[in-house]
A and B are shown apart, each in its own frame.
Chain A
């Protein structure tokens, strides 16, 4: 089953809306609570990244009874050095974004901790694609 959600860049008031929708779906599917929690925390971080940095993005969710795959594709500045961005505390967020409580540099490491596999592809000046997979029963 597939779902798709648009994410508006710069609209912090709606940040987390797509993640909450996915959470509702997982609850209806009787996915284990601890797994839902991991998925939602990872998705929220990724969604906020799009809102904070990109012009816009799309969250595509593919579900079956074994796993959830989420691909978040954005049109944005891209990440020049993915390995550096994966370090805790590293952040390029503007002071304005930090004032709102986002951009502490914990995003990508937090996503990695909360999913079973994470792939990031990025082209500077074009955008970033984040692919996360989490298995329901491990």
Chain B
């Protein structure tokens, strides 16, 4: 299996192996070993649930060094609309734009400006491929990865187009190149609300390389803007280039229901990864007939609930709704804006490659062997306690049984089984402690004699 880049990392110093993330992971990708949460790269979909549940902030999102932007003479920052929702109403958009310029960016492009062109491309794709109904949006990279690992039979329903993030990056680059700037002097940096978008940029699905040069975490940019706002509090607003007003539809694009509102027919909008899994199960079973389009987002309240956002998601929504109202009817776009590149972007919108299945559920390639393994799992299930305590370092008894059969764990990791073995005299107390240390870490039970 290929290697998949994951932005989510665990800090061995901060992690205590508490199992919260392990229980929260929707693809059951986490195990606790030696007092440390470890993430299975093949099963992780970068949804960020682990980061959100970690009370010790031991799970973090790796980002590029900010100073890398200065390797380029033309530094473009791609902003998702959600950025504006991070700030209170007292911070004007002009101030935010000014701060982004002040920290070194030469051009600010809102990613959702490409939403209109993308919606048109999606409409076009759906009209030309009616047999692929129900259509599933490829908006959320965590959802695309979830489909690859857990619902591979639904891959043909995914609309194989690049997203607003990619199209706006292509546009930003194109615009500068047309103005005579050499390609190697242009750096395009995306401000991400989540880990999934980083993974999508570092190891894209369905394309070789991403048009984005680097990624900056949204909380990092938020802090940097806040520092600037404090420092420049009493200074007049420095001149920043004119901004175009994003249309209400484009502002809504990354929020729940934003895509679904753009299309005809029966469209559903679902957010939060467990809700997404639930609906994908139903779609896979053909339980809901007559659906045309499904918008699926891994985070609660879509990108407003991203793991790297700082503001309360409801306050984010409030500000963005106010922004949409304020922009309604205002000058949508300069004549030299993104629309001018419509044909150019539409031509580049289809994903050049395939979205491959990467099923994680199978027990073996060979069905006969898989059957034997399943029988072994069922036998183990008869002896384990079935309380899913997580003390063995696996999220459930069934997962431990599966790990044992796949040779990734030992059954005596189970504290219940150890008690039984101790009672029968089949294990010494010292052996029991040694076994427990494999999950809980050395020295947790005092020094060994």
User: Which residue of the partner chain, among A25, A31, A33, A44, contacts B286 with CB atoms under 8 Å?
Assistant: A44
The reply to whether A40 and B362 form a contact with Cβ atoms under 8 Å apart is: no
B178 touches A (CB below 8 Å): no
A1 touches B (CB below 8 Å): yes
The reply to whether B371 and A16 form a contact with Cβ atoms under 8 Å apart is: no
Q: Which residue of chain B lies nearest to A47 when distances are taken between CB atoms in the complex?
A: B285
Chain B positions 278 through 293: 1 when the CB is less than 8 Å from some CB of chain A, otherwise 0: 0001101111010000
A29 touches B (CB below 8 Å): yes
Q: Which residue of chain A lies nearest to B153 when distances are taken between CB atoms in the complex?
A: A33
The reply to whether A30 and B362 form a contact with Cβ atoms under 8 Å apart is: yes
Chain A residues near B286 (CB-CB < 8 A) = 40-41, 44
Chain A residues near B364 (CB-CB < 8 A) = 30
Chain B residues near A30 (CB-CB < 8 A) = 359, 362-367, 370
The reply to whether A29 and B367 form a contact with Cβ atoms under 8 Å apart is: yes
Interchain CA distance A64-B370 in the complex, whole Å: 10
User: Which residue of the partner chain, among B152, B370, B371, B375, contacts A33 with CB atoms under 8 Å?
Assistant: B152
The reply to whether A28 and B362 form a contact with Cβ atoms under 8 Å apart is: yes
The reply to whether B368 and A20 form a contact with Cβ atoms under 8 Å apart is: no
Interchain CA distance A64-B375 in the complex, whole Å: 11
- Minimum C-beta distance from A18 to chain B (A): 11
Chain A positions 19 through 63: 1 when the CB is less than 8 Å from some CB of chain B, otherwise 0: 110011101111101101100110010000000000000000001
Q: Using C-beta atoms within 8 Å of the partner chain, give the interface range for chain A.
A: 20 to 34
The reply to whether B363 and A28 form a contact with Cβ atoms under 8 Å apart is: yes
B361 touches A (CB below 8 Å): yes
B357 touches A (CB below 8 Å): yes
User: Which residue of the partner chain, among B284, B287, B367, contacts A31 with CB atoms under 8 Å?
Assistant: B367
The reply to whether A33 and B362 form a contact with Cβ atoms under 8 Å apart is: no
Q: Which residue of chain B lies nearest to A136 when distances are taken between CB atoms in the complex?
A: B367
The reply to whether B371 and A24 form a contact with Cβ atoms under 8 Å apart is: no
Chain A residues near B282 (CB-CB < 8 A) = 16
Chain B residues near A36 (CB-CB < 8 A) = 153
- Minimum C-beta distance from B370 to chain A (A): 5
The reply to whether A23 and B367 form a contact with Cβ atoms under 8 Å apart is: no
The reply to whether A1 and B371 form a contact with Cβ atoms under 8 Å apart is: yes
Q: Which residue of chain B lies nearest to A44 when distances are taken between CB atoms in the complex?
A: B285
Chain A residues near B366 (CB-CB < 8 A) = 30
- Minimum C-beta distance from B75 to chain A (A): 45
The reply to whether B287 and A44 form a contact with Cβ atoms under 8 Å apart is: yes
The reply to whether A40 and B284 form a contact with Cβ atoms under 8 Å apart is: yes
- Minimum C-beta distance from B134 to chain A (A): 14
B389 touches A (CB below 8 Å): no
- Minimum C-beta distance from A83 to chain B (A): 25
Chain A residues near B289 (CB-CB < 8 A) = 101
- Minimum C-beta distance from B84 to chain A (A): 41
Interchain CA distance A64-B363 in the complex, whole Å: 15
Point out which of B289, B367, B375, B378 has the most chain A C-beta atoms below 10 A from its C-beta: B367
- Minimum C-beta distance from B366 to chain A (A): 8
The reply to whether A34 and B371 form a contact with Cβ atoms under 8 Å apart is: no
Chain A residues near B152 (CB-CB < 8 A) = 33
Q: Which residue of chain A lies nearest to B374 when distances are taken between CB atoms in the complex?
A: A28
Chain B residues near A25 (CB-CB < 8 A) = 374
Interchain CA distance A132-B282 in the complex, whole Å: 22
Q: Which residue of chain A lies nearest to B365 when distances are taken between CB atoms in the complex?
A: A30
Q: Which residue of chain A lies nearest to B289 when distances are taken between CB atoms in the complex?
A: A101
Interchain CA distance A64-B366 in the complex, whole Å: 12
The reply to whether A29 and B363 form a contact with Cβ atoms under 8 Å apart is: yes
A13 touches B (CB below 8 Å): no
- Minimum C-beta distance from B172 to chain A (A): 39
Interchain CA distance A31-B285 in the complex, whole Å: 16
- Minimum C-beta distance from A97 to chain B (A): 15
Q: Which residue of chain B lies nearest to A40 when distances are taken between CB atoms in the complex?
A: B285
Interchain CA distance A16-B287 in the complex, whole Å: 8
Interchain CA distance A43-B278 in the complex, whole Å: 18
Chain A residues near B361 (CB-CB < 8 A) = 24, 27-28
Interchain CA distance A136-B370 in the complex, whole Å: 14
**Considering the complex, which residues of chain B in the window 254-297 have a beta carbon less than 8 Å from any beta carbon of chain A?**
281-282, 284-287, 289
The reply to whether A34 and B367 form a contact with Cβ atoms under 8 Å apart is: no
Chain B positions 352 through 391: 1 when the CB is less than 8 Å from some CB of chain A, otherwise 0: 0000010101111111101100110010000000000000
The reply to whether A23 and B285 form a contact with Cβ atoms under 8 Å apart is: yes
The reply to whether B368 and A65 form a contact with Cβ atoms under 8 Å apart is: yes
Can you identify 25 A-B contacts, CB atoms within 8 angstroms?
A: A1-B374, A1-B378, A16-B282, A16-B285, A20-B281, A20-B285, A24-B361, A27-B362, A28-B374, A29-B363, A30-B365, A30-B366, A30-B367, A33-B152, A33-B153, A33-B357, A34-B153, A40-B284, A40-B286, A41-B285, A63-B371, A64-B371, A65-B371, A101-B289, A136-B367
